[in-house]
Structure 1
Amino acid sequence: MAEDKKPIFRNIDGDDPDLEATDIESACMNCFRSGRTRLLLTKIPFFKEIVLMSFKCEHCGYENSEIQSASEIQKKGVRIELTVQSAEDLNRRVVRSDYTSVSIPEVELEIPSQSQKGDITTIEGIIDRTIRGLTQDQENRKQEHPDAAAEIEAYVEKLTSLKEKQINFTVILEDISGNSFVENPSAPSLDPNCKIHHFERQKEQDQILGIYCPADITSAQESNDNTENSKSQQKHLLKPISEDAWGLDDLHGEVLQFQTLCPQCGSPCETNMKLTNIPHFKEVVIMATVCDVCGSKTNEVKSGGGIEETGIRFEVKVENKEDLTRDVLKSETCSLKIPELECEVGPSALGGRFTTIEGILVAMKDQLQDESFFFRDSADEESKKRMGAVVNKFDKIMALELKATLVLDDPAGNSYVQSLAEGDDIDEKLIIAKYERTFDQNEELGLNDMKTENYQE
């Protein structure tokens, strides 16, 4: 029965008596005798699903813990640039994958990707781990290579001064898998000290992650014998579909169904997909997923067309019940902002969806309330009160006790807000503005082949 099933990935909760950790026997890398490894599948709020691993050897006392991402590799890599200005910045939580490189330009520190295992730490923890690595075997080094030992000690002093003397510095994390994260203590407001940039991976970076384009696979297959290729293709579970196999006329009205994983708990479920047309807008692909295990219901909308020539920005005033019922198509590249609450949501936070103004507000409130660090036991009371006040203001907006403005900004131009005006009349509560994309916005959308002189700086 579905009610007897449990989600694969669950939040760490003291009230959950059945939180499952897998205990397996494994070899100790220190003494090579048998130890125990415990695996726990869980979720990080505002981030992704992860696997926590903890090892302990009862023979030599060796212990080790690490983290691995259980989420799929993201479509784009991520580059996070954080300016550290206070002790609060040093205490920011950081999640980094195996493919994350870390650099601090002020002290010429560079930690290459795949040189350390992924982990959950803080900015200060990254510095401390680097210091421990540099000072390892320092006593032997002083005897055998005194000059090198002196240089290392001088460099360690620089690293120590970064956290002890409160010197402003910059930490840059670049992750080609897109699965790294830095906590925003100002949430739901925009983080003033952190810049996040998503970039298209190069071919070599895709291959490091084990991602190969069809052209690479085809060229490799052509180098082998044609007969062996045909036998190999027959064994493939997924086979390519010719371009003319399905036309747009065939897809309209057709509901396609495929197996997928629940975005909330990771359990197997089914997703329904349909191509439809939104009046006065364009064709879109609607995907709906219902999970029988955790009860999660999600809908995602993707544009059926390409990227528009210009970006688009909507400003909607929410003052009465009619304003809450406006239809809204938010694409996966569209960011949201409510100036009255100093609340801003990035494009990937809520994904693409077709809903109403009220539906957008409910989704923003639920994500802040259900997945925020600030409602956990580890959060301080001041942070909890600040976040609680923001959530209460969402309730007041939906109860029409507080007037607000919802701003949708989509550089791809694939979002839409319904106008309540009839005919050619002007909707005074809806402002629509098209704009030329900046160079960075074009790069985020993967439009690297466009000429830079066409960009508006």
Structure 2
Amino acid sequence: MSAIGEQEPVRGGPVFRPLSAEDEEQQPAEIESLCMSCHRNGVTRLLLTRIPFFREVIVSSFTCGSCACSDAEIQSAGRVQEQGVRYTLAVSARQDMNREVVKTDCAMARIPELDFEIPAFSQKGALTTIEGIIDRAVAGLEQDQPVRRAADKDMAGKIDEFIGRLKHLKEVDSSFTFIIDDPSGNSFMENPHAPQKDDALVVTHYKRTAQQDAMLGLKAEETDEKPADFVEELRNEVLQFNTNCPECNAPANTNMKLVQIPHFKEVIIMATNCDACGHRTNEVKSGGAIEALGTRITLRITHPSDMMRDILKSETCSVEIPELEFELGMGALAGKFTTLEGLLKDIQDLVVKNPFTLGDSSTPSRVEKFREFGRKVHQILEGHMEAHFILDDPAGNSYLQNIYAPEEDPELKVEHYGRTFEQNEELGLNDMRTEGYESGPTSER
């Protein structure tokens, strides 16, 4: 009989044993199961194990003795974690290709240098290496190549070229970035220096979005504040009201829609079309309040692809291009939700085609100056000239798309600052009264 307070060891040991080649008692369980290839019985082996510095997993392997079909899969033995996880590894040596990786079926793998991505739920979960993930991707692309060569030789040739680039990555002649992004938080990438920090590996934990919760089959948390019915109507449909055309004063209709800008806030887009004179106008209003701080957004334009960035310029925002010594004041061009290319073209039309600057009273020097400005804007649009594009909005309601979101954009700088008295005066905040309405009428000054 054991002494009081002592506990007898659990027979058979723990269910999940650490992953080790020296553990002779760690044997997989075998289950007879149906082969989906030949519809005969095969054997599925299940191994419940614990990965060091990670958590418990279930490794399954199926083998059919009749048709030699085989398959392997890994599943997390735990619950969905409270936060998602993103592993970013700078692969710079051949040894990095041998790092062990646990990739669940809901994880996404990405190599930004090749613009290559393995979407979530496109592969089964696997316990493999970085080289193994690349090999699986190559095998998947090569699978239908014979059919593609018969149907579309050009497409097959492009895929062959891309497969060659993937295979060349395994030689690690030059460094590249390998990213595993798992909203469930159950993927893992080995740190060979554990428990010390690995300078080449960045692990980021983040809060899942509502879309990611829906993808994982989780119910999104309900907030105490529910939107009003009229706000829900604005989100789901286009509202229309009667107005007059600003050009010919004829009756016209204005369409209004509430739009959610990713990684920013809601805005109201209004568009007016006049059937009488054909005049069209559109304007964007912020759907929220004035922010506590002003916002200054600086973009360094280095590539023609920057022209496709979405941009929201509120009516309180000024625009500056230092290389052109150009500044567009607050209120000019009103509020706009467009692309950087669209806004630059509007600025070009506003300056170059303005009849008040190019009329009969203009001097040749002034005309040449504005034409030179138009040529420089055209060079920026074509990507032949680098420039800085600055949005300065004291109300904090302007936005410039970060194409690397949720990661930081190396060419985009966002600064928040406290407004001056003059800026608050322009926004009408200095005389705005928001307290003391229930204290009764006040005496006249």
Q: With structure 2 as the length reference, what TM-score do the two structures score?
A: 0.47
Structure number with greater CO (CA < 8 Å, separation at least 6) is: 1
TM-score (norm 1): 0.46
Which has the larger Rg? 2
